[in-house]
Structure 1
Amino acid sequence: GLGRLAACFMDSLASESLPGNGITLRYKYGFFKQKIVDGNQVELPDQWLRLGNVWEVRKPKHAVDIPFWGHVEIEKDDKTGKLTYLHKDAEYVRAVPYDMPMVGRGTEITNTLRLWDSEASDRLPSNKDFHQYIIELDEITQNVYPDDSTEKGKYLRLKQQYFFVSAGLQAIIKAHLRTYDSLDSFGEKTAIQLNDTHPVLAIPELMRLLMDEHGYEWDHAWQIVTQTMGFTNHTVLSEALERWSIQQMKTLLPRIYMIIVEIDHRFKDFVYGQTHDRDFVNRVQIIRDNQVHMAHLAIVGSHSINGVAQLHSQILIDDLFRDFYQLWPEKFNNKTNGVTHRRWLTYSNPQLHEMLVDTIGDDYVYEPHQLEKLLDFVDNEDLQQRFMNIKRERKQILIDYIEKECGISVPLDSIIDTQAKRLHAYKRQLLNALHIMYLIKKIKKDPSFTMQHQTFIFSAKAAPSYVFAKKVIKLINNISEMVENDERLSQFIKVVFIPNYSVSIAEILLNASDVSEQISTAGKEASGTGNMKFMMNGAITLGTYDGANVEIDSLVGPHDDIIFGLRVEDIKHLIYNGYNVWDELEKNPDLKEVVDSLIDGTWANGDIEEFRVIYDELMFKNDEYLLVADFEAYRKAQEEVQRRYADSKGWARTMLVNIAKSGFFSSDRTIQQYATDIWDIKPLKS
């Protein structure tokens, strides 16, 4: 998610001629390749570098050393009283950069994505076996998101985060000093955007470099740091707001921990001076309950804090960071995410691009708001027919792919209803599955049942250690198998799980889909970007009032999307009044039958334990993500899909309206807002 968003941002930076570079790790393996065996997810290594990468250039002369472990000794100058901090017995790892050009469309400006690889330093550790040293340094850039359920895994993640921010900052400082005589103007000339909490160690690390390496006093260094840093929050999920144990931080990064302690101390003094409220101070402090709260550190050390959709940013202000907003309301702002329309429309759907050029010209490629010109043609029946023919062609490509990869035949006149995103409880793939199970029971019970054929497509990876999510994948595949083996069910529905979701698969799905499933629990999805990509290709949003769905709804209106379910304020009211999932199910016997079927063997060839973990997650966590509470609204929304699809001209018109309004969700607009409101940068002239 964050990586794909960053790729869109890099495209827009270059295409808008804005000077902006990316910093990341050069992972040897991707997340994983997903294979489905007997309905279960199996993870295989994703060796994306096995054939090399012709776009990257190794830059060994720009390599830097990164210190870990050891301890800090403090020396005091007897004459001046100045303290010097010496990192003793540190274990150094060499960070070697690989640069990739980031080229935009229609511009001569080229930016850089710098990927850091870990290699052995010339300063080899004296207290560690060499082979063990090599194994441990290799691990730093081995895998993206290593399993952090173990102590070793937590240390590795912390190592990764410090490694790339320290390397990146050292390189940025060297670049600055090639042009300017000192770092006094660093905050004025440099903007660093912290993308979620993973790079937040950049705040204390820049303090370390300014003070320990370049001789700055605390107050001057802090002024430079806060002028430089901006922080983007990407989640409201508590488990995703990183917290590191004091023990881990002080052991692995002793000097960084000392600086964080001092930042926290000074911040608490400031807050108490402002509020005279000890409870308030306790809520916002950076170090609390033996943990370092990275989001708090990010807010304290940045001049700008933004969410990534209007609703998300409001939740940050009202709930998640309410206390910080009281301290610094001027820091908070919204920057609704966007995606590069040049990749997700122009490139991936060439027939649609050709239709748009013939109808409104090609200005939209550079100025995506020009897509609104299409509104003048949405009632044109010839254009509607041309678009539906394109959609049909793209459906055929998808159908052929499904036949080849999954062995499932999908009729061409089927409604293509797609939910493609990471598998997580809050994204509610299970709600989609429960509705399909409800439909199956209804079809089997009612001989007179009929509906327009609908194909429910899922594509998602579950984190390797996320048992619940992996069981949902198994459930979807078992449902699919049941439908395939039942002639009557196949007359009305198909269920397809496409494995190994990727950019290439996404391009096929986006072009072909009629319905875009965006059904997360309201208030849980910060923004989402899949919703935008589907919209650009004409798919109609079937979604909750969550993330960027809110802005899609405000743009197209209720006639051209289908929004359902509880809103954030409804959920607060429901929880406050004592929501009980058992009571809710008693009110809906049909849904109760579906839920109970999870543990009666219906979907597992008689095995009553196969999906017990799903049942327990739903019932014994009191329907944490409110699937039962939203089920009836979702069922009616699916009925509305059926009703609207029956009006072929109306459906075509709605799809064209969605395309016309999708220009707002170009990452060009997002990047322009960052550039103007946060970074204070302007386009370069070629």
Structure 2
Amino acid sequence: MNKQEFSQQFISRLKSQTGKPLEETTANERYYVLAELTKELITDNWIASELEHRNQKRVYYFSMEFLMGRLLTNNLQNMGYYHMVQEAMTEIGIDINTLENAEDDMGLGNGGLGRLAACFLDSAASLGYPVQGNTIRYQYGFFDQKIVEGQQIELAQQWLRRGTHEWEVCREDEAVVVNYGSGASLQAVLAVPYDLPIIGYNGKTINTLRMWSAQPVTEALVSSAEYSDYEHETRMITQFLYPDDSTPEGQRLRLRQQYFFSSAGAQALVRNHVSKGRELETFADYHTIQINDTHPTLVIPELVRIFVDEHGMGFEAAWKLVQQTVAYTNHTLLAEALEEWDEIYIQELFPRVYDIIVAIEKWFMASLVSKGYTESQLAAVKIIANGKVRMAYLAVVGSFSINGVAALHTDLLKNDALKQLFAIYPDRFNNKTNGVTQRRWLLYSNPELAKLITEKIGDAWTTDMENELLRLLAFIDDESFLDRLLEIKQGNKERLADYIEDQLGVAIDSSSIFDIQIKRLHAYKRQLMNVFHIIYLYQRLKTEADFTIVPRTFIFGAKAAASYVFAKEVIQLINVVADIVNNDPDVNKYLRVVFIPNYNVSKAELLFPAADVSEQISTAGKEASGTGNMKFMMNGAITLGTLDGANVEIHERVGDDNSFIFGLQADEVSELSNKHQDNLAIVAENKQYQKIMDFLKNPQDLGSSFVLAPDTFAKIVSDLIDGNDEYFVFSDLAAYIKAQEEIAEAYSNRHVWAKMMLVNIAYSGYFSSDRTIHQYAKDIWRLG
């Protein structure tokens, strides 16, 4: 279709759907018609991909989250239609950017886990691998974040405000029934699939993300009161992403969610396999189920249940088949994130699945006894222990592959978090360092940099980033190229500065160092240490006449879980500090602080290209990988980080001269964690630390425009002092301050800084999710 045909169809469809002349239609109305036409353009390729993959082995990526972001631009770009559509819109007087901004981010994820899953889907389709996602179609996303008087307020994220999403297709005829309880308490829920096209680069392969929606079964209950309760409970299963699980009711709901999409996905796969006339024993020949963290672990006993109860297979044969089918990706070293569920909840909600977990436990223990394991060794690896079902242990025992997501993370899994299980199954453990798609995070979000790279080395990097970007090192002494890099970075900074002033009313100096930390708010990610450094700078600027700094703009973006008091206090602290600093004429020409509310993929696409400094300052040994560090790197930001997660591998590639590494290492953190720290003494011995703590303890005296009580930051103070500073903020703060001083010195020499940018961009190719997916396909999935 050429642009004239496209614009004619667009105008005709817009008039018929709105009953308005073109000039009276809204941006939203125009967006929906454009999305509809674009979806029609890809339909033939979507069908062709499905037919091509029908008789191949396929991978099914089960994940609680897929943080997709906006789809219009990405889909048009991947299909190669963007410039044609842009020109067509321009000729009829429409700015395509206004239509892009009318799209809501899909509410299917929150943090790095979900964004990784989205990058993996993009890479799999772009490389032609048959990979289908499997998740929940949440009615509401995590939440929309609003900042009021410095505090986070959670609002419902209504991404499905029209009832259906413009890119999805409902497959009502492929619905399955998921059962909870048993006997008289049996509750049946209809799982209805909605399919979303995942368009690979150049549009040849189009895979599918399947999203399951919970709906009442068609047979109504006798009592209207009972039906009302049943309908409410059913709708709640897919109502919210991550319901508050701090209560027993919330925990049950979270478990119902996990079983819902695991059971629905498993049932659909088995039904489809059998419908093709294939023997059930060949199931693993056609399917690999990759579970993304422990949330989908119930697919393991659920598959056994389906094979045994619905198809008459013996337990041993069913269990062996499941072990040949499922692979497990671990994403965490934190004890609270290695899920453990009260076994009574599983007994109540899915008694037959609980029976199967018990049977798996007996099989596992018997297999170890036969190999001579002692009672104490058996106790250390029990799947059911102390009234809890340990989901990570079930995932390891039920999978043929267990992978970590960064070299350090995998080593820590083997030697610490899962070391007893690693001793039993050493051949199952492997590493697959995470990656991100360069198409969304460089090609589309930083078009000027992408254009410069293509001018110098051609466009093969868009699908072979790992090898091609290294060719940029040939320009390390080319001053004109370095100047272009700096100009592009400055343009991106000005674009972000304009957005911040327009949306938040804060004017920032675009020539200052843009120091950015954008990620989920959690104690171990240490946004607190970042803001402590800002307080330190502010206090010195206010009290020391001869103290000067290179101008800095510190930018944060983060959401805190609604029930996470500490994290919400940190957000309030950042906003209080911003309020004080930005309104103080003594310091605001050197120092600005910005908190960007409601951080999401679309805002990330503005932030990553504009960053000078990439804050990756988690406590060593706590961050599994990180993927923001990779997005910053490929956009020319310099890493300020601990040797944690994928920071280790970034540092290995770029070296000390092109990154700023500081702080305790993982083994030192582990050693110190076993000792008591006297943080009162640590603070008492350092006047700057005392001043920071005084800032926290007496917020009402700071001159903020917000109303602050003396105990506003009580949880932060308690965690630092009474809680023994679990994440070593004060232990690393001096080293962090020193690293920040080194950054200021390096930034002052513009060509030195530009060379650092170039080295980071060149070596970022390894961190493409294309490389990661190739490794999964070869080593785990065994795809041709």
Rounded to whole Å, the distance in 1 between the matches of 2:209 and 2:673 is 45
Structure 2 residue aligned with 1:635 = 737
The answer for the alignment partner of 1:468 in structure 2 is: 566
CA deviation profile, 1:476-506 (whole Å, cap 9, x unmatched): 1111111122112112110110100011110
2:120 aligned with 1:22: no
1:129 alignment partner in structure 2: 226
1:32 partnered with 2:143:
yes
Q: Offset at 1:119?
A: 1.0
Which residue among 505, 509, 519 is the counterpart of 2:603?
A: 505
1:546 counterpart = 2:675? no
Q: Is the 8 A contact 1:304 1:332 kept in 2?
A: yes
Counterpart residue identity of residue 360, structure 2 = I
Instruction: Report how many residues are paired.
Output: 666
- Structure 1 contact 519–543 (Cα < 8 Å) conserved: yes
Q: Is 1:676 equivalent to 2:778 in the alignment?
A: yes
Shift of the alpha carbon at 1:378? 2.1
- One-letter amino acid of the structure 1 residue matched with residue 632 of structure 2: F
Report how far residue 368 of structure 1 moved. Answer: 0.7
Q: Which residue pairs with 1:306 in the alignment?
A: 403
Which residue of structure 2 aligns with residue 74 of structure 1? none
How far does residue 337 in structure 1 lie from its aligned partner after superposition? Answer: 0.5
| SS, match of residue 588 in structure 2 | helix
1:613 to 711, 715, 726: 715
Which segment drifts farther, 423-432 or 262-271?
A: 262-271
**Residue number among 412, 433, 444 corresponding to 1:336 in the alignment:** 433
In the aligned structure 2, how far is the partner of 1:7 from the partner of 1:482? 38
> How far, CA to CA, are the matches of 2:625 and 2:722 in structure 1?
29
One-letter amino acid of the structure 2 residue matched with residue 67 of structure 1: N
CA distance in 2, matches of 1:347, 1:650: 27
Alignment check: 8 A CA contact 1:92 1:125 kept: no
For 1:40, give the aligned amino acid: Q
Shift in Å, 1:125? 5.2
Amino acid at match of 2:638: I
| 2:673–2:726 contact (8 Å) kept in structure 1 | no
Q: Is the 8 A contact 1:371 1:659 kept in 2?
A: yes
How does 1:519-598 map onto structure 2 within 5 Å? 519-598=617-696
1:79-478 map, 5 Å: 89-124=185-220, 129-369=226-466, 370-478=468-576
SS of 1:48's partner is coil
Q: Secondary structure at the match of 2:160?
A: coil
Which residue of 47, 50, 57 corresponds with 2:161?
50
Confirm or deny: 8 A CA contact 1:430 1:472 kept in the other structure.
yes
TM-superposition CA deviations, 1:54-80 (whole Å, max 9, x none): 211111110111100124xxxxxxxxx
Alpha carbons of structure 1 residues 118 and 604: separation in structure 2 relative to 1, 3 Å: farther
Describe the SS at the equivalent of 1:490.
coil
The Cα offsets for residues 409-450 of structure 1, whole Å up to 9 and x where unpaired, read as 111210000000010100000000111111111111111111
Q: Specify the code of the residue in structure 2 equivalent to 1:14.
A: A
Distance 1:275 1:519 in 2: 44
Matched, 1:495 2:575: no
Distance 1:2 1:515 in 2: 23
The letter of the residue matching 1:490 is N
CA contact (8 A) 1:92 1:124 kept: no
Counterpart position of 2:177:
65
State the 1:108 CA deviation. 1.5
For 2:376 and 2:679, the matched residues in 1 are separated by 34
Structure 1 unpaired stretches of 5+: 72-87
8 Å CA contact 2:676–2:724 kept in 1: the answer is no
Q: Residues 574-627 of structure 1: CA distance to partner in whole angstroms, max 9, x if unpaired?
A: 234543322322332211221232102344757421112211111110110000
Q: How far apart in 1 are the matches of 2:571 and 2:362?
A: 47
CA distance in 2, matches of 1:578, 1:272: 39
- Identity of matched residues, %: 49
Contact 1:91 1:125 (C-alpha < 8 Å) held by counterparts: no
Amino acid at match of 1:493: L
**Moved runs in structure 1, 4+ residues, more than 6 A?**
none
**What's the CA shift for 1:181?**
2.5
Q: Distance in 1 between matches of 2:566 and 2:591?
A: 25
Local SS of the residue matching 2:594: strand
Q: Structure 1 stretch 457-466 or stretch 114-123: which is displaced more? A: 114-123
Listed as ranges, the gaps of 5+ residues in structure 2 are 1-111
> Aligned partners of 1:677 and 1:644: how far apart in 2?
41
**Aligned-partner Cα distance in 2 for 1:178–1:372:** 48
| CA distance in 2 between partners of 1:526 and 1:348 (Å) | 26
Separation (CA, whole Å) in 1 of partners of 2:275 and 2:179 = 24
Q: Does the CA-based 8 Å contact 1:478-1:604 persist in structure 2?
A: no
Counterpart-to-counterpart distance in 1, 2:745 and 2:185: 71
* Corresponding residue for residue 658 of structure 1: 760
Contact 1:8 1:340 in 2 (8 A): yes
RMSD: 1.3
Residues 1:8 and 2:96 are matched in the alignment:
no
Residue type of the partner of 2:688? D
CA contact (8 A) 1:21 1:114 kept: yes
Q: Hey, what's the Cα distance between the residues in 1 that align with 2:278 and 2:602?
A: 47
Q: Report which structure shows greater RCO (CA 8 Å, sep ≥6).
A: 1
Aligned AA (1:152): E
**Do the aligned partners of 1:475 and 1:603 also contact (CA within 8 Å) in 2?**
no
Give the whole-Å Cα distance in 1 for the aligned partners of 2:221 and 2:664: 57
* Alpha-carbon distance change, 99 to 577 in structure 1, aligned in 2, over 3 angstroms: closer
Paired residues of 1:94 and 1:118 also in contact (CA < 8 A):
yes
3-state SS, counterpart of residue 244 of structure 1: strand
